[in-house]
Amino acid sequence: MTPTTRTREMKRSSVGQRNRYLPLLAVLALIAGILPAALLHLSPGRWPVIPRLVPVAREARWKCNTAVRVASQEDTAIPPASIDDGIPPELYRTIPAGLPDMDPVVLPRALQDTALFHEVLDGGVVSEENTYAKDLWASGALLVAVRRPGCWMSREQAKALSAAFAEALPEQAAPGRPRLIAIVRNSIADEEGNNQVEEFRKFFDGEVFVDPYLSIYKALGDRQYTDGVFHRQAAIWQLQRMVGSWKVKVPGNFVGGPDIALKFGGCMVVDSTGALRYAHQEGIGPIDYGAVRRELIQLRVQSVSTSSDPSP
């Protein structure tokens, strides 16, 4: 055996030895990820301790020596923020207390009136007609920037916002009613020919437009999924998505490249001038459904009062 051949055999043997440990490492990582939640959900009334999810005071964080801190029931009395997020308060305790807060991000801004969009017609066909942002909000609108139409979290988020919209504005033909609009990056089909926007419409009751220049994503901070994914605010956002999917089974897939899947979206309520009334950046805390409903109702009231005002 030549020296070159011997070297190759040694490298191949070392690679094989490392590969034998990969399944074990994967199992250990899975156990570490699900064990805290399992302690809570298997028998929450009988366990003497539960994983702590509530925020820890900054001055006390140095006491946390592990990523997941276990706390007693008496140690988890800090209530969550007073918003309508659909998350049962007890589930906040499933968030590891050792997660750091997210660094400051670019705040959302209003869309430019001239931002270009194209409507997605039946069958997933993208219209060639230009639609500008100012055409979308004559009576106000709830705009939902979809990260990926096939993603189960994006579908669940769209379904929850559709429900909030319907609760706030149940009369579909009411004059001055704001519009419900989803914004996607493209309209593509899977290997079996199923258009992903058409599949997405099963979970969303509004119109769908393509954003060729990613205008709304940039307005929402132009963030990636990898920006702050291991922070407390991101964990709460993921918890809200999981709670929603537990209530209503939402399937998903992986159609679309990583450049699409990693671009964060969000939602915004805008008035008839395009000004922001409410905005949520995906991946940063939960959506406040109560705030969404209140702003939509207020827009409807303002639109009706403006249309009935006889003054020029």
Q: Does 84 have pLDDT greater than 80?
A: yes
DSSP the chain: --HHHHHHHHHHHHHHHHHHHHHHHHHHHHHHHHHHHHHHHS-TTT-SEEE--S---GGGGGG--SSS-EEEGGG--PPPPSS--S--GGGGGGS-TTPPPPPP-PPP-PPPTT-EEEEB-GGGPBP-S-EEGGGT-TT-EEEEE-S-TT-HHHHHHHHHHHHHHHHH---TT-TTPPEEEEEES---B-TT--BHHHHHGGG--SEEEE-TT-HHHHHTT--BTTTTTTSHHHHHHHHHHHHHHHHS-------S-HHHHTB--EEEEE-TTS-EEEEEETTSS---HHHHHHHHHHHHHHHHHHHT----
Higher pLDDT, 108 or 12: 108
CATH architecture of 116-307: 3-Layer(aba) Sandwich (3.40)
pLDDT at 248: 84
Whether pTM > 0.85 for this model: the answer is: no
Residue 308: band (very low, low, confident or very high) from pLDDT cuts 50, 70, 90: low
Domain ranges of the chain: 3-94, 116-307
**pLDDT (tens digit per residue) in 252-299:** 988 887 777 788 999 999 999 999 999 999 999 999 999 999 999 999
Q: Looking at residues 54-69, what average pLDDT do you find? A: 33
